Amino acid sequence: MKYVYLILFLITLGLFLIFYNFKYLPLEEKIVRISDENILWQKEVQELKERLREYEEEKEKLVYSFEFKELFLSETSDSLSPVGEAKLKAIIPSLKERDKKVAIIFYGEDIEFPTQIKKRYLTAYHYGFQKAVAVFNYLVNMGFLKDKLLIINDCEKKNKKNILELQVVNY
């Protein structure tokens, strides 16, 4: 009789350990896994909110894109064509109403460089820059302040060729 209480205690301890290992520990692991998954989804939602904010900021940007042939008399000319002048004149009010700087962006790395003017320009960068300067001078003549205009070479975008963009920037 003396050992009955000890045996009952050991049986109770054994049942508790069995219950703990087969019922409680799996539940704890499941709770930890769900908690980790919840944190992962919260990070995903935060990233999506940031992308949405960036997208909405992009929508607010005003961007006009023109090919060189739309604006200039020919690919060898630095003079704006009458059609090009009319296109630029049509967008000037929308550029001015924002009262921010306007960037004239050309893509200097991938410009298709006409062979007949290779003697005139050292590189495709210089060719694109000269086209951007012609648009810059036209906008200055149309009433833009020089310090509100920027000329930017964006060599990151490799798929844009013979294109000038006018974009309102926030700085």
Is the CATH code 3.40.50.2000 the one for domain 63-169?
no
Number of neighbours of residue 113 by Cβ within 10 angstroms: 17
Number of neighbours of residue 127 by Cβ within 10 angstroms: 24
Averaged pLDDT, groups of 10, the chain, 171 residues long = 83 84 77 89 91 70 81 81 87 81 76 69 80 90 86 69 73 57
**pLDDT recorded at residue 58:** 59
Domain residue spans of the chain: 1-60, 63-169
Q: d(Cα 75, Cα 5) in Å, to the nearest integer?
A: 103
Q: d(Cα 72, Cα 38) in Å, to the nearest integer?
A: 57
Question: Whose CA is closest to 121, among 75, 152, 84, 159?
Answer: 75
pTM of the model: 0.61
Q: d(Cα 44, Cα 61) in Å, to the nearest integer?
A: 26
